[in-house]
Structure formats: structure tokens, C-alpha cells
Amino acid sequence: MNEYADTSLRSTQPAPPTIQNTAIVIPTYNAKGHLNDLTHALESQKYLERNNVLVIDSSSTDGTAEFFKDWGANVHIIPQSEFDHGGTRRLAVEIAQAAEFIVFLTQDAIPFGSSSLQRLLAAFEDSTVGMAYGCQLPRSEARGIERHARLMNYPPDTCEVRSIADRDRLGIKTVFCSDSFAAYRRTALEAAGGMPESAFFAEDQIVAGRMLLGGWRISYRGDAKVTHSHGYSISQDFKRYFDVGVFHARNRWLIATYGRAEGEGLRFVKSELGYLWTTDRPQLLSAIIRTLAKYAGYRLGRFEGHIAPALKRRFSMAPYYWTRAA
């Protein structure tokens, strides 16, 4: 049975206030391959109306913007050259001025079941919560490395609320979150300075760090789920961790406030090798090579100030950013 197919389960009761006052923001670019699954999943969400969905499209050439307009979403088109992970989301928050809560999805994050959004927004029943993020499940075709990454970072069916007091216990993990499926209370977001005007990576963690310092709390909702994972190549893993290194080098206040990332990385590697040993041993060698590539990428990223722009474009998952920055 398709878990998205049965829309007859929608309640006839009035929508909860959080749903009524929510904008669902989806940045898109050439999303044709995900549109049917994504809109079908959105249609199954309890209480959600299509005009609650705001699509910020980076001038797609495959009909993405037209598809969403016909579907009933609000669509705002920007030049591809102007896309920025932080700035584009900041623009979306400004456009959705009437929304008290803002949910961010990526075009390949597919809500799982009919209550994903409702459960995520339930985090705001706690008035101290400024931000919430949900569980990301691996794709059906994912192998051990990809599955472990999701299990490690997004344990299903568990919920927790973190505050600044947790930094001694969790270190840099205190600010972990993901705008692939996250929600913000507008007042908390504004108090934290809003989305960064320019951020090519991890804009969500910048906001999380600021919110925690401002006394707000962050909620992880493992019962609110989307299907979202990537089968990165070794080269892509290197590039992604180069970007992580750049991010940490440029946001040293996060490390100074919450702790270094290397300890968390070692814990992840130990867990990954143990998981693969019991579930997918043929991937063990790949995991070891990937670990070396990730570490090399991260260390290079930390010293990006000494690297030529042309090399940064080759090393990064976001070469467009370095083209603009040059």
C-alpha cells in the first residue's frame, strides 16, 4: 500500500493553529524527477492547503515552476545566479510575512505518512522551542553507508529538546539540525537575526547556535519523517567535508561556544564500522577510504584562506558560490 495514497484519513475538524499559520517553503531547481512524489506526499498531509506552500524556484528549465503554479502553490522565481542557502530562505521568510511558523523542505525530501508536518509543528506546543527538525529516512535503494548516516543523525521515533545547557554533554552536536525538514517559530528566528544573508552551507546551524544563546530551545522530532538521503561518491564526500571545514573556519564562534567537531567525527566512524560489520561488510573498505577523504577535505576546508579560488571551486559541492565570491 502506498502510504501517501489514502487522503480520506484527513480530519474534518478545524486545523490546529500552527498549521493555519504556517508557510511550507521549498527552494527548487530542476526538480522534475521529484515533483510527483513530493506533491502527492504534500496532498496527504493533514490540514495542509496548497496555498500554504511557497516555492522559491531558481529559474528551472524543466517546468518545475509551471508545475507548482498549476498545482496551486505560490511560486516566486529568482535568477539561478542569486540562489544562496541562507539568503534565499531569508527571502522566503520575508515573502511569507503572515506566517507565524515556517517549515523548510528541500525538493527531494518526501514527507512520509500523513502526519509528518503536524508532528513536526507539535514541537511548538512548548513555548520555549524556537526551532524543530524531523527524522530523515534513507531511500529504499540505500546501502549500509547511506543508511547508517541517517540512523546515526536522525534516530526514528525518538524525541528530545536541547538547550544551551546541553553543550557540555553534546558539544557541536548541540546545534545539529537540517533545513531539509525543519520548522521555525518566526519570533525566535527574528530574535536570532533571521536567516543569514549569505550562507552557502549550514545556515540552519548558524541560526540554531544563535537561538540557543538567546535562550530558545531546539526540538528533534523523530516521529515526524521524510525520506531523504544521498548516495554520495567518494569525491562528493570529500567536497562536502571541504565545505564543512570552510563553514567551521568562517564560524569559529560555533566551535568556541559549543566544542570541536573532531570528537564527534571519531564517534561516527566507530559506529559506522560496527554497523557495516553486521549489515553490509562489502562496504567496509569504501567506508575507510571515505573517512580518509572526508578528513582530508575537512582539514583543507579549515585552511581555505590559503587556497586559490580556482581550487576552491573544484574542491566544493557549491562551485557557484566561489564563482560569485571570486
In this predicted model, what pLDDT tens digit does every residue of 36-87 receive, in sequence order? 999 999 999 988 999 999 999 999 999 999 999 999 999 999 999 899 999 9
| pLDDT tens sequence across 193-237 | 999 988 888 999 999 999 999 999 999 999 999 999 999 999 999
Question: Longest Cα pair distance anywhere in the chain, in angstroms?
Answer: 60
* pLDDT of the residue at 2: 34
pLDDT band at 188 (very low <50, low <70, confident <90, very high): very high
Q: Give me the mean pLDDT over the 89-94 stretch.
A: 97
**For 89-102, what is the mean pLDDT?**
96
pLDDT band at 312, cuts 50/70/90? very high
Average pLDDT, the chain: 92
DSSP 223-265: EEEEE------HHHHHHHHHHHHHHHHH-HHHHHHH--SHHHH
H or E, element range at 85: helix 85-95
- Model confidence band, residue 322 (pLDDT cutoffs 50, 70, 90): confident
Give the other-Cβ count within 10 Å of 87's Cβ: 18
Query: How far is it, in rounded angstroms, from Cα 313 to Cα 317?
Result: 8
CB 15 within 8 A of CB 47: yes
| Pick from 19, 230, 191: nearest CA to 115 | 19
Q: What is the pLDDT of residue 8?
A: 30
How far is residue 175's CA from residue 90's CA, in Å, rounded to a whole number?
A: 19
Residue 14 is predicted with a pLDDT of: 66
CA distances from residue 242 to 152, 293, 300 in whole angstroms, order as listed: 21, 10, 6
Cα separations (Å) of 214 from 92, 182, 209? 23, 19, 9
Q: Give the model confidence (pLDDT) of 114-141 as tens digits.
A: 999 999 999 999 999 999 999 999 999 9
- What are the Cα distances from residue 209, in Å, to 129, 203, 258? 13, 10, 8
User: Using CA atoms, how far apart are residues 21 and 151, in angstroms rounded to an integer?
Assistant: 31
